[in-house]
Amino acid sequence: MSKITLSVFSLLLCGAAFGQADRLKAGVDREADKLEPKLLEWRRHFHQNPELSNREFKTAEKIAAHLKSLGLEVQTGVAKTGVVGILRGDKPGPVVALRADMDALPVTERNSLPFASKAKGEYNGQTVGVMHACGHDTHVAMLMGAAQILSGMKKDLKGTVKFIFQPAEEGAPAGEEGGAKVMVQEGVLDKPKVDAIFGIHINSQLEVGKVGYRPGGTMASVNSFVIKVNGRQTHGAYPWSGVDPIVVSAQIINALQTVVSRQIDLTENAAVVTVGSIHGGVRSNIIPEEVNMEGTIRALSPEDRQQILDKVRRIVTNVAESAGATATVEFNEGYPVTFNDPDLTKRMVPTLEATAGRENAVLRKAVTGAEDFSFFQEKVPGVFVFVGGMPKGKKAEDVPAHHTPDFFIDESGLKLGMRLYCTMALDYLEGGKETAKSGNSTGK
């Protein structure tokens, strides 16, 4: 066969591939339009019936029943309440995973929605209101819709789609484990082995119709810490006869402010060291023996994260020692940086632009909130994007934030999220494993 003939043949093959991809995406759009009323019905059901982390029993039942009705292979009880559906396309190819989180928060809803939550639950021994105050109800509904649309394309799929419905993204109750970390430990990225993963989060402060993305560190790592400062108790009238842990704690708090302001290169990445609580003493005239503090650390690169942990430990220990006190600091394991694989993100930007409209796919700033989607990204290349849920014409500063009683989502933005789940999966499968060959380059 001549070079010219080969070139023509290659062009024909490429044209056929692009034609097939366009046909499938057109099918996504048609099915999404038809499915939108059901999408909203699912969302409202989950919103009205929220369940706390590791307690998503009814939510999981409804998801599993839906996936089984589509003929998928369904696994339940993953990381306690998680559900996984597997759709094996009729054509060979890679494995792509799509993830949605399921849990609600211990927040009492405060709005006039006809489907507002009136649910109660128990959180760390207290009776609390329960609300989907972060939009996980929308994520579940969008992924259920994507599963239905993609199931109808089984004969054209070049590979496998794994639908991961994850519990406990907001953190397991005290004394329990949960969330993405446990799902990974239990093998959710294996059998079949996942080559890449995509996640979506609704955003109440991003306008409906828009999708936000960022390569590299897009959400911060998080570590909480507990500091215990031990002095020597004495009468408040004679401070020189003891060692005052309250004064030492104040010096430690002030010194911790220099970690971010003076010891981290903020031109590269943002970082946060926050002391959120301090407790010590019982009377005005007694200098106590001990003071306890708690706080949080946020960073946007693994290197910054480790630097901050090391610097906090050094400051706590040395400031206490300089005053004749002793102090310890303990860090929880926390979440890693939510790190969007740069090569995979680059490959997906045309998909985001084609699905949302080029003008609506926006490069966003990194944020210091955290996401346990990062545990999936430690194992396989992944991309995590944000879909707008703010009514058009509103300003971000004027709408309720996530995790608040007045949190609100404009449901007209949900269809875009459902379409994005589908188109990201389709384009990844069409491109094959080459879309993820860079791997996770964070060094975590």
Catalytic residue numbers, as ranges: 335, 411
**Sign, CA torsion 271/277/281/285:** positive
Q: Distance between CA atoms of 428 and 184, rounded to whole angstroms?
A: 21
User: In Å, how far are 217, 300, 335 from 371, measured between CA atoms?
Assistant: 11, 12, 7
DSSP codes, 207-274: ETT-EEE-SEEEE-EEEEEEEEEE-B-EETT-GGGSB-HHHHHHHHHHHHHHHHHHHS-TTT--EEEE
243, 324 in Cβ contact below 8 A?
yes
Q: In sequence order, what are the residues at sequence separation of 6 or more whose Cβ sits closer than 8 angstroms to the Cβ of residue 119?
A: 48, 49, 50, 51, 104, 129, 130, 131
Q: Which residues pair with 298 in a beta bridge?
A: 222, 272
Q: In sequence order, what are the residues at sequence separation of 6 or more whose Cβ sits closer than 8 angstroms to the Cβ of residue 25?
A: 354, 355, 423, 426
Q: Distance between CA atoms of 109 and 183, rounded to whole angstroms?
A: 29
Q: In sequence order, what are the residues at sequence separation of 6 or more whose Cβ sits closer than 8 angstroms to the Cβ of residue 194?
A: 95, 96, 97, 162, 380
Q: Distance between CA atoms of 103 and 140, rounded to whole angstroms?
A: 10
